[in-house]
Amino acid sequence: MTTPVYQNFINGDFLKNQSGETFAVKNPATDEVIYHVEVADSFVQNAAIESAKQGFAVWSAMAPIERSRILLKAVALLRERNDLLAKIEVLDTGKPWQEAECVDVQTGADVIEYFAGLAPAQVGQQQMVGEDFFYTRKEPLGICAGIGAWNYPLQIACWKSGPALAAGNALIFKPSEETPLGAIKLAEIFTEAGVPAGVFNVVQGAAEVGQWLTHSPDIEKVSFTGEVGTGKKVVASAAGTLKDVTMELGGKSPLLVFEDADISQAVSAAMLGNFYTQGEICTNCTRIYVHKSVYQQFIDELKTRTEQNIVAGDPLDPSVNFGALISKNHHNLVMGYIEKGINEGATLLTGGKALRPESAPNGYFVAPTVFTDCTDDMTIVKEEIFGPVMSVLVFEDEDDVIRRANDTHLGLAAGVFTKDIKRAHRVIHQMQAGICWINSYGNSPAEMPVGGYKQSGIGRENGIETLDHYTQTKSIYVGMTDIESPF
């Protein structure tokens, strides 16, 4: 059986490349090639820039409310096609249908809807200066680039295109080579909704295509989601043309469970924050610090629920709640971390092995894994694993656990479970992290800004402030009086 071959999406349509180069995309749950995609060669890259210039001229000249109406049509189409798009995400990423059906498309659509609503509300300022005055205009940046990771491919494309397009920019988006189809479907939807040709182009390929975007002198901003190491390379190359950057990078986030916490709720948060999307979420609370007096109760419940409630298998089966990791390579990487955890002396509470579920025997599954007796210096406690591997640590003193939780170069997220309202806020205010939860974990509504402290990122996505990251302020001074000149 031949598999489909997808082309790059440029200027409102598919564009064939000239090199003939393609790459294969596999379903992580079956290890089978499901389709091929053409690489964006220099012919496609040039076309992407030329059409984005033309698209930008048309789009940026439209009234914001007109752009808003078009984007809201796209939102409606996204919601209408939820199941079709969710299935693409399941086949590309290996995540369970149970999640994709109610999260991936909807949270993407929410963000476009949110920014479509905000666009007409963005205003400049006016101020008198004596009898003269000045005013400011919020103008779009021009052509922006988005580069996405593979864990939430369609959602990431929506989170970047929502504010970029609402503010009047054109966006050239490169999805991860592992998960390229969702962005193509989004491009088709934007086109159908009436977004002018060239305003949202999708270019396909691996690091080289990403590098081209970060170097191109025609691109004003790069919004990147991915690993810290790649993020540093992107910032370095964007510096060559002084591009604006937004960086959404990795984390190694702490969850603090105090002695007065609702333990069942804290276990729910720990499981969600380590096993949802089979552990492939940037904000995951992979370091769980539990107060000594409730430690045993916590790990007993955690072990029971992990062993009884997690159902791994064919991700399309609606009863499955735990999917396959993205690739064989990533599977091996995660298994390598588990081996390190064992070798460095952590106790394996549960999991720790590859899985071969009957309904998906060839998938890249790793059992939900919990290590206890962890210490702060262990590799599994220090490095982002991006898989279903949780490290549980003990603490006794509030100040000490805050110091330990902050003792990392990363600062994406943090959480605290306690019924003491003063302690909850006191502790969370001291967390060096950009996304924090009290008695909750993982929720990220369109209205809430998200982004990292320290090496977990630069700038924010979502929330009102993000629209500012896609505009530049023009100040205009108006002379109402005669110019005073010594010349």
CB of 316 to ligand NDP, least distance (A): 23
CB of 458 to ligand NDP, least distance (A): 11
How far, CA to CA in Å, does 398 sit from each of 113, 257, 311, 395?
41, 10, 36, 8
Is 107 among the residues that bind ligand NDP (CB under 6 A)?
no
Is 206 among the residues that bind ligand NDP (CB under 6 A)?
yes
How far, CA to CA in Å, does 461 sit from each of 163, 345, 449?
9, 39, 6
For residues 172 to 191, the per-residue mask of contacts with ligand NDP, x marking binding by CB under 6 A and - elsewhere, is --x-xxx-------------
CB of 151 to ligand NDP, least distance (A): 5
Nearest to 415 by CA among 407, 203, 405: 405
Q: What's the CA gap between 188 and 123, in Å, rounded?
A: 31
Q: What's the CA gap between 317 and 4, in Å, rounded?
A: 24
- DSSP secondary structure string, 352-365? -SEE--TT-TTS-E
Is 334 among the residues that bind ligand NDP (CB under 6 A)?
no
- Considering only 77, 100, 109, 149, the residue that binds ligand NDP (CB under 6 A) is 149
26, 95, 160, 185: the active-site residue: 160
Active site residue 50: no
Active site residue 248: yes
DSSP tag of 206: S
CA 338 to chain centre: 25
**Which of 39, 290 has the CB closer to ligand NDP?**
39
Q: What's the CA gap between 289 and 304, in Å, rounded?
A: 19
Asked whether 455 and 228 are in contact (CB, 8 A), the reply is yes
Q: What's the CA gap between 130 and 107, in Å, rounded?
A: 48
**Number of other residues whose CB lies within 10 A of the CB of residue 401:** 22
- Considering only 27, 151, 155, 286, the residue that binds ligand NDP (CB under 6 A) is 151
Is 282 among the residues that bind ligand NDP (CB under 6 A)?
yes
CB of 328 to ligand NDP, least distance (A): 14
Is 211 among the residues that bind ligand NDP (CB under 6 A)?
yes
CB of 116 to ligand NDP, least distance (A): 21
Is 147 among the residues that bind ligand NDP (CB under 6 A)?
yes
Which 284-313 positions form the footprint of ligand NDP (CB under 6 A)? none
Active site residues: 160, 248, 282, 461
Query: Residues interacting with ligand NDP, by CB under 6 A?
Result: 147-151, 174, 176-178, 206-207, 210-211, 214, 225-227, 230, 233-234, 248-251, 282, 384, 386, 412, 452, 457
